[in-house]
Amino acid sequence: MTITSAMILAAGLGTRMRPITDTLPKPLVEVAGKPLIAYGLEALGRAGIKNVVVNVHYLAPLLADWLSAWPGAHIRISDETAELLDSGGGIVKALPMLGTEPFLVLNADTFWLEEPGSTTDNLARMMDRFDSESMDILLMTARLDQATGHTGAGDFTIGDDGRLTRYKGAGDPVIYAGAIILHPSIFRDISEKRFSINRCFDTAAGEGRLFGSPMHGHWLTVGTPEAIAEAEAARAAYLGEPVP
């Protein structure tokens, strides 16, 4: 399926990343010399997506100024400085800029490394996989052994047909790896202004319309200052490069 728009969720407070985030929004925290949000923007660029919406809240002017200089994309800001709307509410606020067709959503504070030598990347595979007739939401998923920085047990189990159900301790768990394709109709019955996108995951799963797209590569999340070095070491090891 052709996807033309994307949103990056970047309005979090980054409290666990203090003291770095005392003066810097978390999406601009650097890993291997590159701000976290840049990894997502590069992935969208490889996928040919130029219409990008980014929501902002904490230290919003710093992030907006940095984004204004990003080349090759038309980036618009969804301003949540007056009120944080959580992940789901933030997407709904931005819908007028995203349109009525399925679009991508990325987290600003997680990223992945593409599999070396692969001829297609993860977002391209997701776009090929998404089918609005049978799916409301398609999540990129990662196995636990593909992840650095993840501390939970796992989020979902994936069936032979790709359908996702919540992980309840049985089977092989997978992680939601910070990339989504969704149809905006998933929000049609929600009236609350502030809510988590997890609510939509559960709705879609209950209707058999939540699917997973297994990631090729390695996924990283950086939650604390101490985790930066771990992520840089994991990145270097996976890519066969020196640690920066």
Q: What is the pLDDT of residues 159-197, one digit of tens each?
A: 999 999 999 888 889 999 999 999 999 999 898 999 999
Tokens 């990129």 belong to 140
| 98-135 residue pLDDT tens | 989 999 999 998 999 998 888 889 999 999 999 999 99
Cα(115)–Cα(118) distance, integer angstroms: 6
pLDDT at 14 over 90: no
| 132-154 residue pLDDT tens | 999 999 999 999 999 988 878 88
pLDDT at 53 over 80: yes
Q: Tell me the one-letter amino acid at 51.
A: N
Pairing status of strand 137-143 against strand 210-214: parallel
Query: Between 119 and 204, where is the model more confident?
Result: 204
Give the pLDDT band of residue 244 (cuts 50, 70, 90). Answer: low
pLDDT at 205 over 90: yes
Residue 47: predicted pLDDT: 94
Residue partners of 50: CB distance under 8 A and separation at least 6: 4, 72, 73, 74
Give the pLDDT band of residue 15 (cuts 50, 70, 90). Answer: confident
pLDDT at 243 over 80: no
Cα(172)–Cα(48) distance, integer angstroms: 33
Average pLDDT over the chain, rounded to an integer: 92
Class of domain 5-239 (CATH, top level): alpha beta
Residue 242: predicted pLDDT: 75
Residue 65: predicted pLDDT: 94
